[in-house]
Amino acid sequence: MDRRTFLTSTALTSTALGIGLATSTPGLAGASPGRAPALTRARAVRATSLDQLRQAIAAARPGGTVVLANGTYAVPAGRPIAIQGKNGSSGASIVVQAESVGGVTLTGTQGFTFADSSWVTVSGFRFRQSSMIDLATSCHHLRLSRNDFQLADVSGVNWLMVRAEYSKVDRNHFHGKSTLGVFLCVEGPGTSGMSRGVHILRNHFSDHSFTGSNGGEPIRLGLSGRSLSEAGAIVEQNLFERANGDPEAISVKSSGNTIRDNTVRDSLGGIVLRHGSRSRVEGNFVLSGSNGIRIYGNDHLVVNNYVEKVSGAGIVLGSGSVRDDKPGDSPESRRGNDAPDRVTIALNTVLSCGTAIAGETMRTLPPLGCTIADNLLVGDSGRQLVEMPYQQGISWSGNLLWGAAGNGNLPASGFSRKDPLLAAGADGVRRLTAGSPAINAASRTYPTVARDVDGHPRSGKADVGADEYSTATPANRPLTSAEVGPKAP
């Protein structure tokens, strides 16, 4: 084991892990996206063995920090590192951390286990165990931050299960799985509940290479039987690269979630509202992959997304095998596809994809009461920009089309064809330039859409597409690996 000299200052140890020393703390789930919450810290208790670590955790009080010396530790079978009955507070979490970010590796069957605990942070570890980490329903306000997840590549093992309400998973790296199993699941109590208020922020999900047709998602929010439960999860500013284990990189199977400002790059997986209602998909970049954004269920808003060079459809408005999922439906029915009702797809930019916006013909129930408006669709090849088999349930307006691809089968009243005058920025994103016909051209008003894909305010009459013309530097851009994961800001 590496017996490095411990840090003599708690401030130095905490700062290295992005945990501040301020005297007040915002709630974990509501923390500022760009920084870790500030925590009141007592002097650290230092451990040089697993037994010392267990003893220090058992004795920890609100505001306390337990630091484990850098090194590799084999956790014995049947003796996990138990965090049980440990309760900090919103202003004084209990922190269990590695001496430095990535400096402690945990091997064995299990690492940490959690029960009857709240306001506890675990930070800076490299998890190399062979069984799932479970944030249990008896807990709340747990936080896993700046850890590296590469569990044993065992088929059927999901790596992290979040069932503790108002928990936060931020600045971790999940990577290197080739078998069946999900990197990060969010579920809840019983067979139909969802944990509420989970915040998933600035994580890096990479290199899931499972070759099966289903079951290798980086993130799965719920299950078909939990789809009617309100989760209220926020999934934001995460990076997905080479997420090839499933066609769904973010699989939403619950209700009331927000998926915003994420980047999906070079991946089979896309963003899929598979089950549930009332979710918002906003400000995401889906780049150079196979699948874009796919939608089932009711009352979703899909706005301000930028999809480019996806080999399939940029946006799919699905069809249904059932009209609406209801409590008491059979398990077989709940696994089907809920036809989209009252979905709004607006102010998105879709460029150089196989098809810009498409529907489905494999199921019989069409979308109803849906709106597709003010999107910017550009196709470089001879394929159609729009391929929508069911038209009766869709209202079209204000879409701007351009390029060598044909218009497709949207009604003539629903679009115009003009050169949008795009130019690529240093980040590769193609944005509007001065004089673009997209500027101030939206056909509708969007009172709940305050900003564009770049994070710039939407002012006055909106511009068509994801970009509101501006000469200001974008605040939201495609993420890089340096901006997510354990070493992220």
Q: What is the per-residue DSSP string for 436-451?
A: -TTTT--SS--TT--B
Taking all residues of the chain, what is their mean pLDDT, rounded to a whole number? Answer: 91
What is the C-alpha to C-alpha distance for residues 297 and 318, in angstroms, rounded to an integer?
Answer: 9
pLDDT tens profile 408-427: 999 999 999 999 999 999 99
Helix, strand, or coil here: 76? coil
The dihedral region occupied by 443, where left means phi > 0, alpha psi between -120 and 50, and beta the remainder, is alpha
Q: What is the per-residue DSSP string for 339-390?
A: PPBS-EEES-EEES-SEEEE---SSSBPPBSEEEES-EEEESSSSEEEE-S-
DSSP state of 165: B
- Cα 289 to chain center, whole Å? 17
Are 36 and 18 within 8 A, CB to CB? yes
> What pLDDT is attached to residue 41?
52
- C-alpha gyration radius of the chain: 23
Helix, strand, or coil here: 435? coil
Looking at residue 286, its amino acid is: V
Helix, strand, or coil here: 58? helix
pLDDT tens profile 261-299: 999 999 999 999 999 999 999 999 999 999 999 999 999
pLDDT tens profile 474-485: 999 999 999 999
Are 314 and 293 within 8 A, CB to CB? yes
Burial class (CB in 10 A: 0-12, 13-18, 19+), 266: middle
Residue 326's pLDDT band, with cuts at 50, 70 and 90, is confident
Phi and psi angles of residue 298, each rounded to the nearest 5 degrees, phi first: -115, 150
Name residues whose C-beta falls within 8 Å of residue 263's C-beta, 6 or more positions apart in sequence.
Answer: 238, 239, 240, 284, 285, 287, 478, 479
Could you count the other beta carbons within 10 Å of the beta carbon of residue 102?
16
Question: Minimal CA–CA distance to 270: which of 260, 285, 258, 255?
Answer: 285
Residue 383's pLDDT band, with cuts at 50, 70 and 90, is confident
> What pLDDT is attached to residue 166?
98
C-alpha torsion sign, points 298, 375, 383, 410: positive
pLDDT tens profile 186-201: 999 999 999 999 999 9
Parallel, antiparallel, or unpaired for β 112-115 and 204-208?
Answer: unpaired
Q: Judge whether residue 38 has pLDDT over 80.
A: no
- The pTM of the full predicted model, rounded to 2 decimals, is 0.92
